[in-house]
Chains A and B, each alone.
Chain A
Amino acid sequence: MAWVITGVSWMAAAALALGGTPTPRPKPLIDKTKPVRMEQLFQLRQGEREVAQVCSSSRLVLDESARERAKEDFHRILVRFVDGTKVAFYSVGDYRNPKFALVQTLMVDANEGTWVLLTARQRTTGPGYGAVRAVDEKDGANPLIRFETRSLRLTPESSDAFPTGKGSEVLRTAEPELVALLQKIRQAFPRLGDASMARAIPDEMARLLQLPDIAPCTGCKIERLRHATANEDDEGKPAAPLDPEFEAAFGKWASWRELPRLRGN
């Protein structure tokens, strides 16, 4: 009897070692009509040299018609350069108001704890993301209504410079390092391709601030290292982060579902 068991064990071990027909990995079950946490980790290279790693994260509804009714969405891009520079970007849309949508974009220098927060207001025709997207197709006006840094707050009501398009000059004078960092990020990534996604928030901020265009990196390549997509649980608890260590390096500047606390902490 013992030799039979031994023989069967050997056969099983051999089958495992040789690797039989691979069984297809089951795809994760995603309810596309409900919010997901979608994350991708990229490596940015210039030639063979690694320049940075980027973790892009979004909380949104994948299904088209369900997304039309979404009242909010959330995007975060964490960039960690090999030289130690860490920058966090956020873009958060609020589509609850039937007359206008609010989009907040934030850049944080996670090494220095300095930041710039922009608020844009866009006309819309009803609540929900779908209405904003439809209006957006035609509306090219600069919708910036407020910008704020650790030491500065500027709104149309608070400054004559605002409506005349001099907001960027004010920012460049008050926070030259932040402007330089924003431009550095725009220069570090290619304009097109998957990497352009990492430029999306910096480019939007530059457009709102009327900063000059800047040549993107042309010899850079981006490679997707890992990704994860998962629904929140029934109580709305978010799925686990794709790379907790990467996120932890940003400390309090890596928040989820809402902007990090900028003051009073």
Chain B
Amino acid sequence: MRRGIGIALAVVAVVVGSAEAGAWDCWGGWDPSEPCTSQASSCGSCQGCCTMIFDCRVLRGRNYHVALTEYSACSGHCLTDWCS
């Protein structure tokens, strides 16, 4: 019985892990919960991070106004922190 529950939990963990991994593909390797500026090393990569997160959000059918605000804020950080 215990073994069965253990196997079931392991299967669930794998499925959840796969779903997470799939979700991350949408973000192109960027972590959407971290600021783009902390993950970037240049103006271009910072803007690329913002674009990726924006695209991902739009592709998933989220509210465009929120997507636009998030993109603009992210881009604003890049422009002020990275892009001269």
Contacts and interface: CB of A to CB of B under 8 A. Distances in A.
Interface stretch (B4-12, B15-23, B61-69): B61-69
A261 B57 CA distance: 32
B67 A200 contact: yes
A168 interface: no
A263 interface: no
Contacts of B71: 197, 200
B66 A193 contact: no
B69 A75 contact: yes
Contacts of A30: 80
A47 interface: no
A11 to B, nearest CB: 29
Given A192-B55, A194-B47, A227-B83, A60 B72 contact: yes
Given A38-B76, A60-B76, A203 B62 contact: no
Contact of B73 (A62, A197, A204): A62
Interface in A175-213: 192-194, 196-197, 200-201, 203-204, 207
Nearest to A70: B69
B82 to A, nearest CB: 9
Interface residues of B, number: 27
Interface stretch (A133-141, A147-155, A233-241): A133-141
A197 B68 contact: yes
Given A91-B65, A105-B65, A193-B55, A40 B80 contact: no
Interface in A60-88: 60-62, 64, 67, 73, 75
Nearest to A63: B73
B65 A93 contact: yes
A231 B23 CA distance: 36
Contacts of A200: 54, 58, 64, 67-68, 71
Contacts of A93: 65, 69
B69 A129 contact: yes
A194 B62 contact: no
B80 A136 contact: no
A49 interface: no
B76 A204 contact: no
Contacts of B83: 227
Contacts of A122: 63
A38 B72 contact: yes
Interface of B: 35, 47, 51, 54-55, 58, 61-73, 75-77, 79-81, 83-84
20 contacts: A27-B80, A27-B81, A27-B84, A32-B76, A32-B77, A58-B72, A62-B80, A64-B73, A75-B65, A91-B68, A93-B65, A93-B69, A103-B63, A136-B63, A137-B62, A196-B54, A197-B54, A200-B54, A200-B67, A200-B71
